[in-house]
Amino acid sequence: MLKNLVYIVTRFTNHTPTAIGNYYEERLWEFIISLKHLAKYEGEILAFDYGSYPHIITKLKDFGVKVISLPNPDYATNPMTWQTSAYFDVIPHLKEYKGYNIGNWDFDVWFQDSIDPMFLELEDIEGCYFITEKGRSVAWRGGPIKGIHPNYEFDWGRREKNLKHIGGFVSGNFMAGKQENYITKLELIKNCFEKGNWDINHLGAEQSIFNLLLDLKKDKWDITKYGGLTYYYCDQVSSQPNNVSGEPVIKDNKICLNDKSKELFGDISLSAIHCNAMLNRGKGDKFRFKVLHKDLWEQYK
């Protein structure tokens, strides 16, 4: 029998303004409620937490989520450190999950269908699963100045080659793999920060690193169904983040790709939706679990 682990990283502290904190907190419960009651996920759920309020920890545990506390960084001097250091702070703990299939999503993702088939598929690949935002580009965030690093492992050109090959960029909101493959990728990310001159305090640095480290022979980067495609690919008007109508394409009570997005990804169903709480706050609200599944939200929130 497969052993599966879904984990998230959380931080709700007094450094987060109340209005924004409440806005993000709702996303956390949307993630967990939809994972349990729409995706019908029965595997283990783990939250790596950087010093959240006690009521957050209590509620996570009430939902059956195991919570592991990680060292809380100095917010005043390193405000973004936790978002990037999480990729390697978790390594010692994930090493205890030998034989597991592991999936990590940002918690502003929610689930409308099962992700169980994804875990079965992981048994057959040597690398990790990612999701690509096709037709878009991503900046070289926090990395060493292109062309000057002597080690090709950190070279800007390698990332550009990967981006061209996949026709977009690998999103930082999802990664999955068998435990040994998953940890290997996390250790490579850690190496970029420790030896590759990447700025750990640069917001979004890990996303650029994902694209740099993509292994075109071992990884799969088009896991559109399960990875949590960003909501604007499912908008009735546009597939671009700055030109959305805020009206999702719905069929059989599920969010679907719009026609233009089907040309990019194929006519596939989606098990997960990424509402991207940081981008265009409010524009994606009509795509949220709490709006489309009000009864479940009111019952379990």
Q: What is the token pair recorded at 176?
A: 């999955």
Give the pLDDT score at 150: 53
CATH architecture of 3-300: Alpha-Beta Complex (3.90)
CB-CB contact of 143 with 156 (8 Å): yes
Average pLDDT over residues 113-142: 90
Question: ∠ CA 159-162-166 to the nearest 5 degrees?
Answer: 140
Q: Where exactly are the structural domains of the chain?
A: 3-300
* pLDDT band at residue 19 under the 50/70/90 scheme: very low
Of 237, 254, 247, which is closest to residue 285 (Cα–Cα)? 247
| Cβ-proximal residues to 149 (8 Å cutoff; 6+ apart), any chain | 155, 196, 197
Q: pLDDT of 68-86, one tens digit each?
A: 999 876 654 555 677 788 8
| Cβ-proximal residues to 263 (8 Å cutoff; 6+ apart), any chain | none
CB-CB contact of 138 with 166 (8 Å): no
Q: What sign does the CA torsion over 277, 282, 288, 293 have?
A: positive
Question: Strand 3-10 and strand 44-49: pairing?
Answer: parallel
Q: pLDDT of 184-226, one tens digit each?
A: 999 999 988 888 778 888 778 888 889 989 999 999 999 999 9
pLDDT at 15 over 60: no
d(CA 187, CA 87): 8
Average pLDDT over residues 4-16: 84
Give the pLDDT score at 135: 84
Average pLDDT over residues 279-301: 85
Q: What is the token pair recorded at 186?
A: 């996390």
Query: What count of Cα atoms within 13 Å lies in the side-chain half-sphere of residue 133?
Result: 26
DSSP per residue over the chain, as a string?
A: --EEEEEEEE---TTS-HHHHHHHHHHHHHHHHHHHHTS---SEEEEEESS--HHHHHHHHHTT-EEEE-----TTT-TTHHHHHHHHHTHHHHTT-TTEEEEEE-TTEEESS--HHHHHHGGG-SS-B--EEET-----TTPPPTT--S-GGG-HHHHHHHHHHHTEEE-TTEEEEEHHHHHHHHHHHHHHHHHS---TTSTTHHHHHHHHH--TTT-B---HHHHTEEGGGGBSS-SSTTS--S-B-EETTEE---HHHHHHH-S---SEEE--TTSSTTTTGGGSHHHH-HHHHHHH-
Average pLDDT over residues 106-135: 94
